[in-house]
Amino acid sequence: MNQKRFSIALAGNPNSGKTTIFNNMTGTRQKVGNWPGVTVEKKEGNIKKFGYDLKIIDLPGTYSLTPFTIEEIIARDFVLEERPDVVIDIIDASNLERSLYLATQFREIDCKVLFALNMADVARSRGLKIDDKKLSELLDLPVVFTVGNKNQGIDTLLEKAIELAESSYEIPKKRRVKYSKDIENSISSLKSFLENWTEGSIPYNPRWTAIKLLEDDKIVKKRVLNEAGKNSREILQQAQIHRDFLMDRFDDDPEIVMTDERYGFIAGIIKEVLTTSAKQRIDISRNIDLVLTNRFVGFPIFLFFIWAMFQLTFSLGAYPMEWIDIGVNFVSKSLVHVLPNNLFKDFLLNGVIAGVGSVVIFLPNILILFFCISIFEDTGYMSRAAFLMDKIMHLIGLHGKSFIPMLMGFGCNVPAIMASRTLESEKDRTLTILITPFMSCSAKLPVYIVLAGAFFGARAGSVIFGIYMVGIILSIVTGRLFRSTLLRGADAPFVMELPPYRAPMIKSLLIHMWDRSKIFLKKMGGIILIGSVVVWILSAFPQNISYSLDYNSKISETKASYNAEIETAHESGKKLLAKQRDDAVSELIKAKKTEKAEKSFMGSIGKVLAPVFAPIGIDWRGSIALLTGFVAKEIVVSTMGVLYAADGTEDSAALKNALLSSGMTPLGALAMMVFVLLYMPCLATVAAIRRETGSFKWMIFSVVYSTSLAWIVAFCIYQGGTILAV
C-alpha cells in the first residue's frame, strides 16, 4: 500500500463543535489520551478516506494563539512545531466575530488553513447570512459550511482539506491583517533584520516571528534566543527598540494596539460577509425601544398612535363611505322606478337594501381599522403597547398582554376574544374575555355617529371619545371587581416578549386585514341580512292595518287641490305651490308609515318593552332598535332607519332629522349611546365567549352582567341629568 499520509488538525473556539466533527470524521478509530506533560485531553484518529491515510487531531479549544493558557500553548505549539499538513479552523458561524480572532491568527502563521463554518443551522435560524465566497476570497482560503451534529458537510470539508494539502503552498500576501503604518514599518524592518542577522535558523516564518517579538511573546523570544545564533541578543534588542518606539507612538503596549487592529480587520470582514438581518434588527429594535417604551415619552406616543389610528379610520374612511352611500342610493332609487309596487319591492328596498346597505357603508372604516391593527401587530409595536400598558393593566389585576385582545376589541370583539387564547392562565383569560366587550367595537360606531351627530353637532367627536373612555373605565372597574371576587388570584408571572421590529410586508398586512374583515362580511351576508329581514317582516306585518285616517284618499285629495291651485296660479307661484304640495304629501306618507310601524308586530313588541326603557329616556322605537342590536350592533342603526325615518330613503341626514323631531332629548341620546356601548354583546361575540371560555355559565353571566350594567349606567345618566337640568 502506497497511500499518501496527511495530518489534519482541528482547531477552534471552545464549543465550536470540534469534538463533534472529530468524532464524525474518525468514527470509532480514535485514541484518547493527554497531551504530553499536561492533563489536557488529546484526541487522535487515523482514517482512510478518498484513498488517503488521514491523521486527525482534535486540538484544545482556544480563543487566540497568545500563549497565556495551557490550551493555547498546546494548540499553537502543535501547529508551529508539528506542522500538520492542514489546519481546519472550526468556526461557530452563529458567532462569527468572536471566532474570527483565532482565524486571523492562523492566517498569520504560515500554515495551510481552511474554515469550517460550523453551526450553519444555528446561524441560519438566527437570520445570519454569511457570504462564504466573499469570506473565502477575502482571506484566500477554502470555506465550507458544516452542521457537525448532523454530519453535514464533513465529507466536503475533508475533500477540501486534502485538496489544500496537495496544493503547493503560496504565502498569502494580501489576505491578512494589515497593521497601521508605524507597526507595519517596525514589522518589516524587524523582519529584514531577522533575515539578515540570523546565523542559525529563524524558528518560524520571519513576518510572524517579527510580529510576535513586537508583542513580546515570551516563547518566541526564548526560541530566538536559543536558535538564532550569535546575533540573537541583537535581534531581541532591536525588537525592544521597536517596542519602545511603538509604545511611545501609541501610548500603549504594542500587543494591545495590534489586538485592536486585528479586531478592526475582523470588523471589516464582518461588514463584507455578514448580513446580520437578525442581529441588526435586534440592535435597531433596542434603539427604537429606547424611545417607544420610554417611561416618559412612550405613553404619549402610544396615545398618539391610537389617536392617529382612529383619525385615519374615520377621516380617510369618509371618502369610500360616501361612494358606497351613493352606490346604495343609486341601486335603491333605480329599483324604485323599475320594480312594480308590491310587497316584494318593499321587502327588497326596505328590508334587504335598507338593512344591509346601512351597514355596508361602514366597511371602509372597518378595513382601515383592521389594517392599522395589523400594522401594530406585524411591526411588533403591539407587544410594546402591551408593555406600556402593563402598569395600568395591573390595576385590573391583569398583565399588559391582556391589553392586546382589548385593543383589538375596538375593531371587533370576535377576533379580540379569540386573541385572548395567548394568555396562559385560565383566570386571566376569562377575565379578559369578560371585559373585552366594553371596548367599543367598530359596529357600535355608526350608532354613535348618528346619535351624536344629530344631538351634539360640533361636539359629536368629543362625545364619542367620551363614550369610548366610559367603556375603558368600566372595563377597569369590572376587572378589579371580578379580580377581587369571582376570579380571585394572582396574575400568572410571565416574560413580556419584545420581538425585534420588522418592516411589515404589505401582503401579510392585507392578509391579516382581510382575515378579520371577512368576519364582518360574513356577518353582513348572514346575520345582518337575516336580522334586517326579520326586522322588516315584523314592521311590515300585519298588512291590513285599520288606519286612524284614510291616508291614501287624503293624499289624493291634497294632490288634487294643490294641482288645481297650480293650474290657476301665476307662473311665478307655480314652483312654490308645487313644493308645498310635495311637502304636504311626504308629511302624510310619513305619518302613515309611523302609524303603520306603531301598529305592526314590531310596534307591539316595542310597546311591551317601552316601560323597561322609559326610565332611561328611550322610546319604543329605540327599544326595538336596541333589541335587534343583539343580532349585530350595526342593525341598531338600520332599525332606527326603518322606524324613525320611515320615509323610505336610506339617507343618514333624513334619519338625523327624524330623530330630532322624534321627541328624543340629547340626554336620552347620551343614555342610548352608553347603553349601546355596554349592553350585551352581539350574537357572534356571545358565541365566541361561549367557545373561548368553554362555559355556558360565563356566557350567560356576561350577557346578564353587561346588560344590567348598561341599564344602571344609562339610568344614572338620564335621571341624574334630568335632575341637574331642572
Binding site for ligand GDP (CB under 6 A): 12, 14-20, 61, 118-119, 121-122, 147-149
CA distance 191 to 112: 21
Hey, what's the cell of 262?
A: 486585528
CA distance 504 to 375: 7
User: Nearest residue to Mg ion, using CB?
Assistant: 19
Query: Shortest Cβ distance from residue 61 to ligand GDP (Å)?
Result: 5
Binding piece for Mg ion, criterion CB under 5 A, among 13-21, 140-148, 318-326, 443-451: 13-21
Q: Which is nearer to Mg ion, 25 or 328 (CB)?
A: 25
**Chosen residue from 13, 19, 62, 293 binding Mg ion by CB under 5 A:** 19
Is 24 an interacting residue with respect to Mg ion (CB under 5 A)?
no
Q: Which is nearer to ligand GDP, 125 or 563 (CB)?
A: 125
Q: Which is nearer to ligand GDP, 103 or 258 (CB)?
A: 103
- Name residue, grid cell 411588533: 380
Query: Shortest Cβ distance from residue 89 to ligand GDP (Å)?
Result: 11
- CB-neighbour burial class of residue 331 (10 A; exposed 0-12, middle 13-18, buried 19+): middle
- Given a contact cutoff of 8 angstroms between Cβ atoms, the answer to whether 108 and 132 are in contact is no
Single-letter residue type at 302:
F
Q: Which is nearer to ligand GDP, 145 or 630 (CB)?
A: 145
> Which among 393, 388, 367 has a CA at the least distance from the CA of 300?
388
Query: CB under 5 to 8 A by kind: which of ligand GDP, Mg ion, none does 142 bind?
Result: none
Q: Which is nearer to ligand GDP, 75 or 80 (CB)?
A: 75
Query: Shortest Cβ distance from residue 101 to ligand GDP (Å)?
Result: 15
- Name residue, grid cell 504530553: 36
Query: CB under 5 to 8 A by kind: which of Mg ion, ligand GDP, none does 149 bind?
Result: ligand GDP
CA distance 255 to 68: 13
Element (H, E) at 143: strand 143-145
- The interface with Mg ion within residues 222-261 (CB under 5 A) comprises none
Binding piece for Mg ion, criterion CB under 5 A, among 17-25, 140-148, 237-245, 585-593: 17-25
Query: Shortest Cβ distance from residue 493 to ligand GDP (Å)?
Result: 30
CA distance 650 to 642: 9
Angle in degrees, 0-180, between the axes of helices 132-139 and 254-273, rounded to the nearest 10? 140
Site string for Mg ion, 490-529 (x = CB under 5 A): ----------------------------------------
Q: Which is nearer to ligand GDP, 15 or 315 (CB)?
A: 15
- Name residue, grid cell 390595576: 395
Query: Shortest Cβ distance from residue 124 to ligand GDP (Å)?
Result: 10
Please state, as a whole number, how many other Cβ atoms lie within 10 Å of the Cβ of residue 703: 18
- Given a contact cutoff of 8 angstroms between Cβ atoms, the answer to whether 452 and 468 are in contact is no
Burial 282-301 (b: 16+ CB within 10 A, else e): beebeebbeebbeeeebeeb
Query: Shortest Cβ distance from residue 91 to ligand GDP (Å)?
Result: 10
Query: Shortest Cβ distance from residue 491 to Mg ion (Å)?
Result: 45
Query: CB under 5 to 8 A by kind: which of Mg ion, ligand GDP, none does 238 bind?
Result: none
Q: What is the DSSP letter of 609?
A: H
User: Nearest residue to ligand GDP, using CB?
Assistant: 148
> Which among 419, 395, 394 has a CA at the least distance from the CA of 405?
419
Element (H, E) at 129: strand 128-130
Q: Which is nearer to Mg ion, 150 or 518 (CB)?
A: 150
Query: CB under 5 to 8 A by kind: which of ligand GDP, Mg ion, none does 641 bind?
Result: none
Q: Which is nearer to ligand GDP, 73 or 677 (CB)?
A: 73
Q: Write the DSSP assignment of 500-560 as a string of letters.
A: PP-PPPHHHHHHHHHHHHHHHHHHIIIIIHHHHHHHHHHHH-SS----SS-HHHHHHHHHH
Query: Shortest Cβ distance from residue 151 to Mg ion (Å)?
Result: 16
Query: Shortest Cβ distance from residue 23 to ligand GDP (Å)?
Result: 8
Hey, what's the cell of 118?
A: 460550523
Kindly list the strands in the beta sheet with 30-34, ordered across the sheet, starting from the edge strand earlier in the chain: 30-34, 41-49, 52-58, 4-12, 86-92, 113-118, 143-145
Binding piece for Mg ion, criterion CB under 5 A, among 16-24, 71-79, 231-239, 350-358: 16-24
State the distance between the two ends of the chain, measured CA to CA, in whole angstroms.
116
Query: CB under 5 to 8 A by kind: which of ligand GDP, Mg ion, none does 17 bind?
Result: ligand GDP
- Given a contact cutoff of 8 angstroms between Cβ atoms, the answer to whether 413 and 437 are in contact is yes
Element (H, E) at 52: strand 52-58
Single-letter residue type at 190:
L
Q: Which is nearer to ligand GDP, 18 or 596 (CB)?
A: 18
Q: Write the DSSP assignment of 613-637 as a string of letters.
A: HGGGT--HHHHHHHHHTTT-THHHH
Query: CB under 5 to 8 A by kind: which of Mg ion, ligand GDP, none does 681 bind?
Result: none
Query: CB under 5 to 8 A by kind: which of ligand GDP, Mg ion, none does 633 bind?
Result: none
Query: Shortest Cβ distance from residue 414 to ligand GDP (Å)?
Result: 42
Query: CB under 5 to 8 A by kind: which of Mg ion, ligand GDP, none does 14 bind?
Result: ligand GDP
Query: CB under 5 to 8 A by kind: which of ligand GDP, Mg ion, none does 301 bind?
Result: none
Query: Shortest Cβ distance from residue 20 to ligand GDP (Å)?
Result: 3
Q: Which is nearer to ligand GDP, 21 or 423 (CB)?
A: 21
Query: Shortest Cβ distance from residue 224 to Mg ion (Å)?
Result: 33
Query: Shortest Cβ distance from residue 441 to Mg ion (Å)?
Result: 59
Hey, what's the cell of 275?
A: 448580513
Q: Which is nearer to Mg ion, 23 or 232 (CB)?
A: 23
Query: CB under 5 to 8 A by kind: which of ligand GDP, Mg ion, none does 16 bind?
Result: ligand GDP
Question: Is beta strand 41-49 parallel, antiparallel or unpaired with respect to 52-58?
Answer: antiparallel
Query: CB under 5 to 8 A by kind: which of ligand GDP, Mg ion, none does 119 bind?
Result: ligand GDP
- Given a contact cutoff of 8 angstroms between Cβ atoms, the answer to whether 153 and 88 are in contact is no
Query: CB under 5 to 8 A by kind: which of Mg ion, ligand GDP, none does 12 bind?
Result: ligand GDP
Residue 2: phi and psi, rounded to 5, are: -120, 60
Is 209 an interacting residue with respect to Mg ion (CB under 5 A)?
no
Q: Which is nearer to ligand GDP, 149 or 657 (CB)?
A: 149
Q: Which is nearer to ligand GDP, 135 or 246 (CB)?
A: 135
Please state, as a whole number, how many other Cβ atoms lie within 10 Å of the Cβ of residue 657: 15
Query: Shortest Cβ distance from residue 145 to ligand GDP (Å)?
Result: 9
Angle in degrees, 0-180, between the axes of helices 206-214 and 181-197, rounded to the nearest 10? 120
Contacts with Mg ion by CB under 5 A lie at 19
